[in-house]
Structure 1
C-alpha cells in the first residue's frame, strides 16, 4: 500500500493521563485514521503485554514505579470502526534495567509525542484465528 504524508502533530500529554487512552482520544478528535507515532517521556506504573501464542492472548506485566521511555513506537489504524493506537515500548528503571512489550497502559508523568498522519487506503484491524486483530496481508 502506498501512502502520502498528511498532517504532523507534536504535543505534550498532560500529567496524570493514561498514555494509550489519550492517544486514541486525540486520534479520534483530530480524525487521524492512519499514522505512525513515537514519543519520549516518563510513565508511572505502566502495564506492558507479551502475546502468548498458545493461550491466544496477552500476558499482562504490571510494573510498579516510574519508568523512563527509552523507545516508544506505534501506529494508528482502524479497529471496530474507531482510530486505534498499537504501541510498543521499551521502559528503563532507576537501575538501568529495560522492560518492553506492547503498551497496555501507563500514567503519564511527562510525554512528548510525534504523530505523522498518513493519507491513503484505510488500514483496518480485523480479528484473526490466532487471537490478534491484524491488517490484511499483501501479496507480492
Structure 2
C-alpha cells in the first residue's frame, strides 16, 4: 500500500534533517522521496568517491532529489544548479539550507519496513527491505 505525503520547508531549514524529522514524526517505516522543488542558500554534497565533499554557496536551484527513507536514516541524492547553470550532484549532507522554499513529495510503503545494516561487501550500511503484515 502506498500513502502519499507532501509538505513544504521554509527559509533556514536544513533540507536533510527536516526530511528525517518528518519521517520520524509520521512514524514512517519505509518510504521514498518522489520529488522536491525549491532552492538552497548553501549545499553540502558528498561526492561519489566518499572522501570529498562540495560546499556550495547559493543561490542554488534544486533540480532533483531522490532517495530511500528509513526511520533512522534518509539516503538522499541531490542535483543542484548554480546561477550560471552549472550542475553539481551527489549525496545530500546535513548543512544544506533552504533559502526560500522546498516543496517535498514522499511515498510511504505501509506493507514494507526499511532498515540499514552493515554490508561486508561494500563496507557501508545498506538498505534492507522486509515485508510486513497489514
- Shorter-chain TM range is 0.7 to 0.9
When structure 1 is superposed on structure 2, of 125-134 and 108-117 the one drifting more is: 125-134
Question: Is contact 2:23-2:70 (8 Å) kept?
Answer: no
Indicate yes or no: 2:67 matched with 1:74: yes
Corresponding residue number in structure 1 for 2:102: 111
How many residues are treated as equivalent by the alignment? Answer: 126
Structure 2 residue runs without a partner (length 5+): 130-134
Q: 1:86 aligns with which of 57, 75, 79?
A: 75
- TM-score for both structures, normalised by structure 2: 0.85
**Structure 1 residue 58: Cα displacement:** 4.2
Question: Is contact 2:5-2:105 (8 Å) kept?
Answer: yes
Indicate yes or no: 2:38 matched with 1:41: yes
1:41–1:94 distance in 2 versus 1, CA, 3 Å: same
Supply the RMSD in Å over aligned alpha carbons: 1.9
Q: 2:84 aligns with which of 90, 95, 110?
A: 95
SS of the residue 1:21 aligns to: helix
Corresponding residue number in structure 2 for 1:21: 17
Corresponding residue number in structure 1 for 2:111: 120
Corresponding residue number in structure 2 for 1:10: 6
Structure 1 residue runs without a partner (length 5+): none
**Structure 1 residue 92: Cα displacement:** 0.2
1:50–1:125 distance in 2 versus 1, CA, 3 Å: same
List per-residue Cα deviations over 1:14-58 (Å, max 9, x = no partner).
210100000111100111121111211001210001242xxxx44
Query: For the residues of structure 1 that align with 2:128 and 2:75, how far apart are their CA atoms?
Result: 15
